[in-house]
Amino acid sequence: MIMHLLIHNHTMGKPLVLIACLAISACTDAVRIPFVYRIDIHQGNIFDQEMVDQLKPGMTKRQVAFIMGTPLVEDAFHGDRWDYVYSNEPGGEDRVEKKFTTVFKKDELVGVEGDLRPGNSPSLAGRKEVTVNVPKIQREKTVWESITSIFSD
């Protein structure tokens, strides 16, 4: 409709065509306007070396899902393979992509593949396990709990 109006309006056709071309080209990512803020675009499963270092052979699928999260891709033909993909495009710069695959056999972790490997993190070498006991918090009853306790007695 817009192009139809632009073509048939001869008096203002040339400036309108120029404006339309500039508007369409502004929608593309080819032209980068300086001083314009671009957000970081995160897609997929966010995982890092510390998470991968927690994986041990023999872990169940449930344990791996607790550490790594639900996989982005579960192959319908290979139920014993989970693929994790993470893509980040910081501020409109070049995209950075990481891939990680876990392989199971009879619900046990038997192998990993991808950009990260377990045990490569130097920051975990001097790390000590610490157990923290958190006391249970005694809270007052909510209004709803108070009302329902009247009828349940």
Distance spanning both ends of the chain, measured CA to CA: 71
Dist CA 120 CA 100 (whole Å): 14
Structural domain includes residue 141: no
Dist CA 64 CA 71 (whole Å): 10
- Residues of the domain holding 67: 40-120
Structural domain includes residue 149: no
Structural domain includes residue 12: yes
The pLDDT score that the predictor gives to residue 30 is 53
Contact 109, 57 (CB under 8 A): yes
The pLDDT score that the predictor gives to residue 109 is 92
Gyration radius of the chain over CA positions: 28
The pLDDT score that the predictor gives to residue 4 is 55
The pLDDT score that the predictor gives to residue 110 is 93
10-residue averages of pLDDT along the chain (153 residues): 53 61 55 76 85 90 90 82 88 84 91 81 52 68 84 74
Same domain, yes or no: 44 and 27: no
State how many domains the chain has: 2
The pLDDT score that the predictor gives to residue 124 is 41
